[in-house]
Structure 1
Amino acid sequence: MISAYAAKDMGGELQPFEYDPGELGENEVEIDVKYCGICHSDLSMLDNDWGMTSYPLVPGHEVVGTVAKVGKKVTNLTIGQNVGLGWHAGYCNHCACCQSGDHNLCATAAGTIVHHHGGFADKVRAQANSVIAIPEGMDLESAGPLFCGGITVFNPLVQFDIPPTAKVGVIGIGGLGHMAVQFLNAWGCEVTAFTSSEAKIKEAFELGAHHTLNSRDENALEAAAGQFDLIISTVNVKLDWNLYINTLAPKGRLHFVGATLEPLDIGVFGLIGAQRQVSGSPVGSPATIVKMLDFAKRHNIQPVVETFPMAKVNDALKRLRSGEAKYRIVLTN
């Protein structure tokens, strides 16, 4: 039996929950959960914001732990190995995306917390090729958020071949944004943090930003016209996107990794005249996660975390909802 914490209905408090996972599949692994990050996506699933939650819901998709069991056909992982598990717990492995290495774009990929029990538990199971070995020497307590938030902001750098000479802006210095600033600085980019919080200006510089810009100051945004090669939006709120598009250089890109639910109100002439682009991306493939972990270790990039015991999961969720967490919360077993 697996002991977990689950919500029985939309927005409900998590309660102790046990389930029988059945026989371990031949291509599966079972992980002893040591740490599990809390992502804003866990809240979105808990509240059924995306209309795809099934209850009881066991959240948790930023898992760090050790391999406890391996299926008979698993050859890439061994018992006792330190591993991580992110948004996906499995892939079809035969579609065009999987065959080309873009497993994260598989239309039938299994979400770790979508019709599947996640990592707010003592154990979790997943398909072996969605479980990633953690490099020796990485701090395990803070590694969990890399498997969702970290890879979400790292993936665009790889997908769009962002050069180290790029001028890049990051909207929102929070759970995602604080990792984006660190990655971009280490990548070699000139980094500007868009933030409306005076308190976060000093923190943005400490994380690696070279400049800050008040995201609520229309005059400041207008003065930055034509400046950025890439802007990464990590927020889930509606902004005046046309102002941000105006700050892009010719052929610049406004890229969304934050799941804003409202439609984008964008004037097309701001795109056409300077051949600008608007795009979005999810988490990365297993291969890109491996690349991200190696890069993070090499450059000593770590999410800034607060920790709560797993038994205090409801307190941790309240802390996340408050917006005061700096910057990610990790549950410990």
Structure 2
Amino acid sequence: MSENVIRAYAAMQAGQQLTEYQFNAGELLSHEVEIQVKYCGLCHSDLSIIEDDWHVSQYPVIPGHEVIGQILRLGSQAKGLEVGQWVGLGWTAETCEHCNACLQGERVFCPDLIPTIVGHAGGFADKVRAGWQWVIPLPEQLDPVSAGPLLCGGVTVFHPLLQHKIQAIHRVGVIGIGGLGHIALKLLKSWGCEITAFTSNLNKKDDLIKMGADHVLQTQDYASMQDNHQTFDLILSTVNIDLNWNEFLKLLAPRGAFHFVGAVMTPAQIQPATLIAKAINVTGSDTGTPATLKQLLIFAARHQIQPQVEIFPMSQVNQAITHLKSGKARYRIVLEQDF
């Protein structure tokens, strides 16, 4: 078999189960790195791309953008990496490197950004390729089995802490304690913040306290939130469903921020008067730059932050997807490559 042949699992049409798929990726380009996939996280964004929820999918879709593996080959222009090195790859596979955003170090805003799973072959495969700038060295203190979800879910909730200059003195709320939210709790605990977890499932309460939550509230029990009015410096929403956002805005202290990282597909109903009265910011973000990804992995290694994962062999990817859809995943699924 040619070294350019990649074996993968792909959805051939929207919403279909993944099937084995083999393709020739062509010669390795000068700026590319080829990674032998060892582990790959299963993210809700993978489901959205499989099902074309965002109307950007290009079939066949090979999902997988929380890759951990070892470098097999380096293009002639790849820098700072070595064959055999353990690395990670997240949401972004390539950027142009010459637009204003790239030159200013804000590559996530590159107009020619190529996501790892949109118009590009992702990590539910034996190998994956990406531009060298987006291949992130894995600190040896991190467990490669559980590190993958840091590269998408982790950086998604890490970036807002930097953006809003969160410090240990701050009070932070996290809405939705699933794949993203549970990592947010672990990060904030090491950050030193006072943390409130908002969950629809109070059966998780003991888990959430172990992960770092100081307080746990039911997501839509707005009456029980009244004692917390004007107390939070930041509220981070990881959910993809519509809630009564104005009830959460009441919880923010003056100049506090409400930050969306969950892709709610309906317009948010927000009262401008609430924003005006307390100078509140409503913001959002998706993932992070290579520099932010490196910062996150260093921070996670220093504090031994590990996502809580369930392991499936990659050959059982459809069962893993069904488990994720059921809402029973605790709290992130990782596929172990077994081609």
Match of 2:84 among 70, 80, 84: 80
Corresponding residue for residue 31 of structure 1? 35
Task: Say if 1:29 and 1:67, in contact at 8 Å, map to a contact too.
Answer: yes
Q: Distance in 2 between matches of 1:86 and 1:214?
A: 31
Letter in 2 for 1:118: G
Q: Matched residues in 1 for 2:19 and 2:302: separation? A: 39
Matched, 1:174 2:178: yes
> Which aligned pairs between 1:156-305 and structure 2 lie closer than 5 A?
156-305=160-309
Provide the TM-score with structure 2 as the length reference. Answer: 0.97
Match of 1:326 among 320, 326, 330: 330
The Cα offsets for residues 108-148 of structure 1, whole Å up to 9 and x where unpaired, read as 21100010010000000000001100011210000000000
Per-residue CA distance 1:211-236 (angstroms, 9 max, x = gap): 11121212112231101000000000
Secondary structure of the residue aligned to 1:255 is strand
Q: Does 2:137 correspond to 1:133? A: yes
For residues 258 and 313 of structure 1, the distance between their equivalents in structure 2, rounded to whole angstroms, comes to 24
1:307 partner letter: I
1:93 aligns with 97
Instruction: Determine the C-alpha separation between the residues in 1 that align with 2:51 and 2:305.
Output: 31
2:191 alignment partner AA: W
CA–CA distance in 2 between the matches of 1:124 and 1:215? 39
1:73 CA displacement: 1.0
CA distance in 2, matches of 1:185, 1:330: 23
State the alpha-carbon separation in 1 of the partners of residues 119 and 78 from structure 2. Answer: 23
Larger CA deviation: 141-150 vs 192-201:
192-201
295, 307, 313: which one pairs with 1:309?
313
By how many angstroms is 1:196 displaced? 2.2
Structure 1, gaps ≥5 residues long:
none
Q: CA deviation at 1:103?
A: 1.2
Q: CA offsets per residue over residues 129-175 of structure 1, 9 Å max, x none?
A: 01100011210000000000000000111122112211000001110
Alpha-carbon distance, 1:50 to partner: 0.3
Matched letter for residue 324 of structure 2: L
Q: Aligned with 2:124: secondary structure? A: coil
Question: What's the CA shift for 1:194?
Answer: 0.7
- Is the Cα–Cα contact under 8 Å of residues 222 and 243 in structure 1 kept in the other structure? no
Question: Which moved further from structure 2: 215-224 or 319-328?
Answer: 215-224
- SS at 2:321's partner residue? helix
Give the Å deviation of 1:188: 1.1
**Which of 158-167 and 256-265 deviates more?**
158-167
Match of 2:120 in 1: 116
Deviations 1:27-54 (A, max 9, x none): 1000000000000000000110000001
SS in 1 for 2:299: helix
The Cα offsets for residues 46-91 of structure 1, whole Å up to 9 and x where unpaired, read as 1100000011100000000000000011121110000000000011
Alpha-carbon distance in structure 2 between the residues aligned to 1:115 and 1:85: 16
Structure 2 unmatched runs, 5+: none
Work out the CA distance in 1 between the residues paired with 2:205 and 2:231.
20
1:22 aligns with 2:22: no
Which stretches of structure 1, 4 residues or more, deviate above 4 A after TM superposition?
A: none
Is 2:50 aligned against 1:46? yes
Q: Secondary structure at the match of 2:179?
A: coil
Partners of 1:105 and 1:228 lie apart in 2 by: 29
Report the RMSD for the aligned CA atoms in angstroms. 0.7
Aligned residues: 333
